[in-house]
Structure formats: structure tokens, C-alpha cells
Amino acid sequence: TTPRIPLMAGNWKMNLDWKQGQALVEDLGDALKGLDSSKAEAAILPPFVDLRTVQTVVDAGKLPISFGAQDISEHEEGAYTGEISGQMLAALGCTYAAVGHSERRQYHGETEQVTNAKVKAALKNGIVPILCVGEGLEDRKAGKQVATSLAQVEGGLEGLSAAEVEKTVIAYEPVWAIGTGEVATPDDAQEVCSAIRDWIRAAHGDSAADSVRVLYGGSVKSSNVAELMEKPDVDGALVGGASLKADEFAKIVRFQD
């Protein structure tokens, strides 16, 4: 089996207008100069309105940075005011789209069904969905972190073929660790990430399980990324706050240096 290349994905959330985004991607390009693409992949998920600028900077500089969207419409096109389609994102060169981020689930009422439809919309347009799952504090306290996360994986991947599952990225993001400064221990991350891979192996076979990248997300910083990455089933990180500074995010991408 081919080794899984670590993926460090920076979720900018609703930060940085297009000019600020331009400055950050330029600085990040400088900081990642000479990155060995067999060692790690850097990706950024800017706000929709920054994507055209990011595409232009990345293409012009041939920067070692993939990019994508923080969300994607479940619909193809038409009368869906305010939505952005997979076709539009593909035309902007998006490699990825985050789907089912806990902030979408919490504040925008995204159900399993909607999340599943968005995963399918991404795949249909050649975009890799980064399916975000993870338990809240109540479920963590009740010891239900694995069951809750697996139910979200199962719901998000419903109806997909093994070949489609193989292309997806899963991000395990315990809600209590997002934006709180409270990072999960490496063992906590490994417990759920390995359970996710086991579930994929049972449902979709070895090839899918061995190819899928399972990321950890929740207060990842340059100071804690290396110990998380030592765990065998943690294949990268989804990074919020720490992705807004070029030097800090570049250090995360270069965790092996």
C-alpha cells in the first residue's frame, strides 16, 4: 500500500477579506518554499470570496499549496440564493471542500442527510470532501466519543462506493477542542481516528481503509502537532486559529523538520 501523505489543512473560517487572504497566501508560499511534497501536503480553506485570489496567487507562483472551500451546496445549480455549487468550486481549482464542520452542524442546522448530500455533490464535481465529525462535551463525558463519531461517519458516507470512500478525507474534530485551546491527547485522537479507519475497513475494505486520510482537528498548534502525528491513524490536522499566521501554519506543515 502507498503511504498516506500527511495533510495539513488550514480552515480560515470567517476571517480575512480577499486582500488579507492574498497577503497570507503569499507569505505562506514563501514560508513553504522547497516543501517536499512526499512528506506533507499543505491545504487552505479560505472564505468563498477569497478563492479566486488564492487560485491566482497559487497558480502564478506554482506554490505548493492546495486549496478548497469551507462548505459546498448540496444542489447542482439554480434557484438556491446564497449557495455555491461544486461546479463553481471546481472551476476555481478547488481540490477540497469541508463538509459538516461542527459550526455548520451547530449554527446552521446541518443534518446527517444534508452532510451526506454535500459529500456526494463534492465527489460528483471531482472535489475531495473533508468530512468533519466529532463528539460534543456531553458525549465525551459519557464515554460516547467513538459511537457518536462513527454514527456521523456512517451518515456522511451513506450510499458511497468503496472507490468513492477511498477518495475522501475524514477529520475527527471533538467539538470541545475546537477553538478552546484544549487539545485532545494524542491517545484520545488515536482512539477515534483508529475506530474510524476500522469502520471503513469493515464497511468498504482494505484499499479504502488504507488510503483514506483521517485528520485530527481541535486546537492544533506547532507545539503539539508532532506528538499527534506520531499516532499511526492520525494522518494530518485540520487547523483553525493557528492557520491564520503564515509562519505558525508553515511550522505545522513542516512538523517533521
Is residue 179 marked as binding? yes
Q: Label each residue of the chain as H, E or C.
A: CCCCCCEEEEECCCCCCHHHHHHHHHHHHHHCCCCCCCCCEEEEECCHHHHHHHHHHHHHHCCCEEEEECCCCCCCCCCCCCCCCHHHHHHCCCCEEEECCHHHHHHCCCCHHHHHHHHHHHHHCCCEEEEEECCCHHHHHCCCHHHHHHHHHHHHHCCCCHHHHHHCEEEECCHHHCCCCCCCCHHHHHHHHHHHHHHHHHHHCHHHHHHCEEEEECCCCCCCHHHHHCCCCCCEEEECHHHCCHHHHHHHHCCCC
Applying CB under 6 A, does 149 fall inside the site for ligand PEP? no
Q: Which residue is nearest to ligand PEP (CB)?
A: 240
Residue with Cβ nearer ligand PEP (189 or 209): 189
Q: Catalytic annotation on 75?
A: no
Applying CB under 6 A, does 218 fall inside the site for ligand PEP? yes
Applying CB under 6 A, does 236 fall inside the site for ligand PEP? no
Residue with Cβ nearer ligand PEP (126 or 179): 179
Applying CB under 6 A, does 100 fall inside the site for ligand PEP? no
Applying CB under 6 A, does 8 fall inside the site for ligand PEP? no
Instruction: Output the smallest distance, CB 120 to ligand PEP, in A.
Output: 22
Is residue 12 marked as binding? yes
Applying CB under 6 A, does 238 fall inside the site for ligand PEP? yes
Applying CB under 6 A, does 11 fall inside the site for ligand PEP? yes
Is residue 13 marked as binding? yes
Stretch that binds ligand PEP, among 54-62, 106-114, 115-123, 233-241 (CB under 6 A): 233-241
Give the other-Cβ count within 10 Å of 82's Cβ: 5
Residue with Cβ nearer ligand PEP (43 or 238): 238
Give the other-Cβ count within 10 Å of 3's Cβ: 8
Of 145, 149, 190, 219, the one binding ligand PEP by CB under 6 A: 219
Stretch that binds ligand PEP, among 58-66, 160-168, 200-208, 234-242 (CB under 6 A): 234-242
Q: How many residues bind ligand PEP (CB under 6 A)?
A: 13
Nearest to 9 by CA among 56, 46, 58: 46
Measured distance CA(131)–CA(88) in Å, rounded: 19
Residue with Cβ nearer ligand PEP (121 or 220): 220
Applying CB under 6 A, does 189 fall inside the site for ligand PEP? no
**Distance linking the first and last C-alpha atoms of the chain:** 25
Is residue 240 marked as binding? yes
Instruction: Output the smallest distance, CB 128 to ligand PEP, in A.
Output: 16
Catalytic residue IDs = 101, 173
Positions that interact with ligand PEP (CB under 6 A): 11, 173, 178-179, 217-220, 238-242
